[in-house]
């Protein structure tokens, strides 16, 4: 009942691995009696020994994850690689912050809600890094009543 030698011969002839060979149970006796390479070759030809298709790695899970990422999922803190400053440099962060604060001041001045003196003072504070964000600028302006009353 041992067909190890026949299997090995077939594997070497076909150039495949152990898993990819199948012996037809109906022709088992024929396969057992085969000794030479030509016997094995004829058995392969008549379908007693079958070469199975190669198994690949399924990409269905990878495709699913890719679709989720396209939708904006799987992008939380745990998925980020690299330090915060590696992803967005300190300088770029600073530039973005300062520009948004200056734009906010510019809008207030354009609407004539800020006097030139207060505008200059706030600009200097922004340059010095006094404010954390636009919200902080807004809080400071409200706290010290820097918006003109007649502008409303």
One digit per residue, the tens of pLDDT, for the chain of length 152 reads 589 999 999 999 999 999 999 999 999 999 999 999 999 999 999 999 999 999 999 999 999 999 999 999 999 999 999 999 999 999 999 999 999 999 999 999 999 999 999 999 999 999 999 999 999 999 999 999 999 876 44
Reported pTM: 0.56
- Domain residue limits, the chain: 4-51, 84-143
Does domain 84-143 fall under CATH 1.10.1200.60? My reply is yes
pLDDT value for 152 = 46
User: What dotted CATH number matches 4-51?
Assistant: 1.10.1650.10
Contacts of range 126-134, beta carbons closer than 8 Å, 24 or more positions apart = 126/98, 126/101, 126/102, 127/98, 129/94, 131/101, 133/97, 133/100, 133/101, 134/100, 134/101, 134/104
pLDDT the model gives residue 34: 94
């Amino acid at each position: 009942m041992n067909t190890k030698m026949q299997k090995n011969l077939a594997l070497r002839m076909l150039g495949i691995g152990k898993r990819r060979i199948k012996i037809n149970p109906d022709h088992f006796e024929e396969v057992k009696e085969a000794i030479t390479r030509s016997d094995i070759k004829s058995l392969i030809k008549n379908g007693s020994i079958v070469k199975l298709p190669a198994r690949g790695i399924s990409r269905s899970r990878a495709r699913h994850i890719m679709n989720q990422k396209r939708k904006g999922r799987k992008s939380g803190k745990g998925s980020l690689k690299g330090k915060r400053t590696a992803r967005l440099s300190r300088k770029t962060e600073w530039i973005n912050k300062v520009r948004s604060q200056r734009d906010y001041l510019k809008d207030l001045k354009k609407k004539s809600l800020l006097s030139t003196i207060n505008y200059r003072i706030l600009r200097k504070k922004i340059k010095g890094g006094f404010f954390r964000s636009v919200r902080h600028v807004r809080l400071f302006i409200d706290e010290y009543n820097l918006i003109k009353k007649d502008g409303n």
